[in-house]
DNA sequence: CCGTAAACGAGACGGTACGTCTTGTCTTTTC
DNA sequence: GAAAAGACAAGACGTACCGTCTCGTTTACGG
């Protein structure tokens, strides 16, 4: 036996955890969501299958943990102190994330999984989408605080109208969403708020 | 003709085709998308597995055929000759379809499947989503023809901004999208077009 | 895919059956009883695991079928028309089989398995030991027919006393049972029948 | 000393040893030999798996220690000063032990295990079977000393012929071996020694 | 009387094999 | 030539134990 064991009374092996998450990451990039299997993850990570099952319920759980931890860092909305600038910048950031990064690909896969598995959907929405939702509405909240937007504005629905078209393009029509598109989306959004 | 036939020199068995589609329908209702398997469809339909494979490539294809053949009838946008009325009515229709009907549930499952399987995605977008897209923009096209909207309007992007938030609510946040929501969505959309 | 499939509506694949039995045979010879696994058999035979499970309940069942079919040929008791000669010859044959042949090794392993698994024990005793038992008592039956032994003799118990010591040596004490031993066993057996 | 101790610089914990042996006892009674696992023993005994491994090599070793330590007491051959009486009594004792007691069941399981595992076989035969063998031949040795049997008698082979049929019935054919059977076996054995 | 070493409980680890399930291919027989 | 029936190779599923290892605690001896 070449590799040492690292059993330990006080909690799990961080090395094994990281190996699993990285293996899941790699496999997703290589073979796509359907090509990821728990057996494959374990084999790639050099880890026993049981070790995966000990800590995660399904491959989806692994992928959730593997990829969505980066969401916060990658997607913190900028704060320029100006609504129009903020929206433009954030929509560009979000568009790039959803459409061009590996994490975005996983994000899409997880949302897809949520359509197919109601139990997962509830868990995923509670643990991760809620947080993402908070980021999505943050630029608007700041603008209300600055007085750029009226406090009477329904921020939930406004957020839907702001980012909804972008998610729609990415998930449903699969058309590219470049900077021009997001800039015009921001403009139209602002125009709809004019009196 | 009391006995089922078992083969036929002249083309496929319509009885088998119908049995497959109905079995797929039933199974989806009973167990959800993930619970549908080709094996299960064949067993339920009283049909050989090979018969399913002969005519469809995957369970997704069966479901596509089973549920989306009558999309057009359910979702034809009404024409009242007035943009505001048309939008309100159509968004309500679309919201009800996506959120409350069985066909809508399948539609969501298929969009999800498209995230996971690129080959299917291409086929699905070409054969079905394109058509749906045409229906989604139809009210706007009519308005341009009637002169209610300028011919310079980018209809594609306008459609994104119109229906995107609705799809987003349904697919991503899974919040209810009632008539008030869609009415306000139509209003905001129209407001964003004002000079 | 290189190998052709051999699915068939009516009945099993003889090729698959033979491959499994031969693989089991090889593995037993190479690694011993404990080293034989269904996974190993399937892999060695180039067969799917499910194909093994379809036709056999356990590795023991495979080994039973693989090896005990030869029993009849190897162990048919000779008929010299003389009880003393027959017994001497048959005990030598049986001693050699139990102690020195591969089939004998499997036979011992299966009797061992019967101690550990009551369900298997019942099946094994019914299908195979009964037949072996018939062979074991055949020399005595012939002698009764020839008038060399009284018809009042309890053949069952006589058989126990004849072959019991030989099985005991093989299974329990693991001492060699050569020709001298079996010859003396035959003599003692005959002596116990004298009036 | 109310609290159980959890370690000790010099020597093992007698409490842990007893708990393991009793757990093995219980599990064997409940689930049979194949159902006993080291993991199960440790869990049932409230002991760490490593504690079992520290002191025993395998579950078989545990069972050996759990059941066979008092073999001697249960199976000491009686001494009536008369060969015929002694044989009858001892064969009945042995038959009851092999066929009807828990210890006998374990004994059979261990003989079975010896067929499957050569390393265990050597150890088991040396440590336990040799002793049992001595008990088996004791009645004959006494008779030789008393002058009831000639000193030229090969006691080893005589013992084989005496107890062999009984082990054979128990291990191989699994037929009941009641008092009539063992009595007739003793008679036939004695008859075979007549001049 | 304090340090230290053995044995302990707990349990995570890398593994192997289990028996089940579904997939998509292939063959035979029936109509 | 389509359909029913179903065997087949392939391989993932989730579970049960294996035997090894580390951790922190308990205990008793020995300097």
Helices (H), chain A: 14-31, 38-45, 49-55, 59-68, 71-75, 83-100, 102-116, 118-124, 130-146, 155-168, 179-193
Residue D117 banded pLDDT, cuts 50, 70, 90: confident
pLDDT for the residue B1 = 35
pLDDT for the residue B70 = 64
pLDDT for the residue B5 = 44
Would you say the C-alpha torsion D14, D16, D17, D19 has a positive or negative sign? positive
Range C149-175 burial, b when 16+ CB lie within 10 A, else e: beeeeeeebbbbbbbbbbbbbbbbbbb
Minimum mean pLDDT among A181-185, B2-6, B10-14: which range?
A: B2-6
φ, ψ for residue A154 (rounded to 5)?
A: -80, 100
pLDDT for the residue B69 = 66
Is 50 exceeded by the pLDDT of residue B4?
A: no
Evaluate whether D140 touches D162 at the Cβ level (below 8 Å): yes
Instruction: Write out pLDDT tens, residues C13-62.
Output: 888 999 999 999 899 888 888 889 999 999 999 999 999 999 999 999 99
pLDDT for the residue C113 = 87
pLDDT for the residue B179 = 92
Evaluate whether D84 touches D184 at the Cβ level (below 8 Å): no
Contact D185 C125 (CB under 8 A): no
pLDDT for the residue A150 = 94
Chains that touch B (3 or more CB pairs under 8 A): A
Residue D119 banded pLDDT, cuts 50, 70, 90: confident
Residue D2 banded pLDDT, cuts 50, 70, 90: very low
Instruction: Split chain A (195 residues) into runs of 10 and give each run's mean pLDDT.
Output: 45 88 89 89 95 92 82 80 94 93 84 83 84 91 94 95 96 93 96 83
Residue identified by tokens 């005519």 is: B55
pLDDT for the residue C3 = 40
pLDDT for the residue C69 = 67
Instruction: Write out pLDDT tens, residues C98-125.
Output: 998 878 888 888 898 888 888 788 888 8
pLDDT for the residue A9 = 52
Indicate the residue of A108, A113, A189 with minimum beta-carbon distance to B192: A189
pLDDT for the residue D7 = 61
Contact exists between C and A (3 or more beta carbon pairs < 8 Å): no
pLDDT for the residue D71 = 76
Question: Which has more confidence, D135 or A11?
Answer: D135
Q: Which of residues 26-85 of A touch B (CB under 8 A)?
A: 32-34
Instruction: Write out pLDDT tens, residues C2-16.
Output: 344 455 655 778 889
Residue B2 banded pLDDT, cuts 50, 70, 90: very low
For residues B62-67, give the mean pLDDT. 83
User: pTM to 2 decimals?
Assistant: 0.79
D-chain CB neighbours of C114 within 8 Å are 112, 174
A-chain CB neighbours of B166 within 8 Å are 164
Long-range pairs, A70-78, Cβ under 8 A, ≥24? A70/A103, A71/A103, A71/A107, A71/A128, A71/A131, A71/A132, A72/A131, A72/A135, A74/A101, A74/A103, A75/A132, A75/A135, A76/A135, A77/A135, A77/A138, A77/A139
Q: Which of A58-72, B81-95, D122-136 has the highest mean pLDDT?
A: B81-95
Nearest to A159 by CA among A185, A179, A122, A128: A185
Task: Enumerate domains of chain B plus CATH numbers.
Answer: 1-56 (1.10.10.60), 59-193 (1.10.357.10)
Residue of chain D whose alpha carbon sits nearest to that of C125? D173
Contact exists between B and D (3 or more beta carbon pairs < 8 Å): no
Q: Residue D20: left (phi > 0), alpha (psi -120 to 50), or beta?
A: alpha
* Distance between the alpha carbon (CA) of C47 and the C1' atom of F9, Å: 7
pLDDT for the residue C1 = 34
Instruction: Write out pLDDT tens, residues D36-68.
Output: 999 999 999 999 999 999 999 999 999 988 887
Point out the residue nearest to F26 (C-alpha to C1'): D6
pLDDT for the residue A69 = 67
Q: Which of chain E's bases lie under 7 Å from a protein CB?
A: 4-31
CB atoms within 10 A of CB A6: 10
pLDDT for the residue C101 = 85
Q: Which of B96-110, B177-191, C67-81, D69-83 has the highest mean pLDDT?
A: B177-191
Is 50 exceeded by the pLDDT of residue B11?
A: yes
């Amino acid at each position: 036996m070449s590799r040492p064991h690292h059993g330990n009374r006080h909690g799990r092996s961080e090395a094994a955890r990281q190996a699993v998450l990285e293996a899941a990451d790699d496999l997703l990039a290589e073979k796509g969501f359907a090509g990821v299997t728990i057996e494959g993850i374990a084999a790639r990570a050099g880890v026993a299958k049981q070790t995966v099952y000990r800590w995660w319920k399904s491959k989806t759980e692994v992928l959730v943990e593997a990829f969505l931890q980066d969401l916060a860092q990658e997607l913190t909305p900028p704060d320029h102190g100006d609504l129009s600038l903020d929206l433009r910048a954030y929509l560009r950031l979000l568009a790039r994330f959803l459409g061009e990064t590996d994490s975005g690909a996983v994000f899409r896969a997880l949302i897809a999984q949520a359509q197919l598995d109601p139990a997962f959907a509830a868990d995923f929405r509670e643990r991760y989408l809620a947080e993402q939702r908070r980021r999505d509405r943050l630029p608007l909240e700041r603008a209300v605080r600055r007085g750029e937007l009226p406090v009477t504005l329904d921020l939930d629905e406004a957020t839907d109208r702001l980012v909804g078209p972008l998610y729609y393009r990415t998930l449903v029509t699969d058309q590219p969403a470049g900077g021009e598109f997001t800039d015009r989306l921001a403009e139209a959004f602002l125009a709809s708020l004019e009196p």
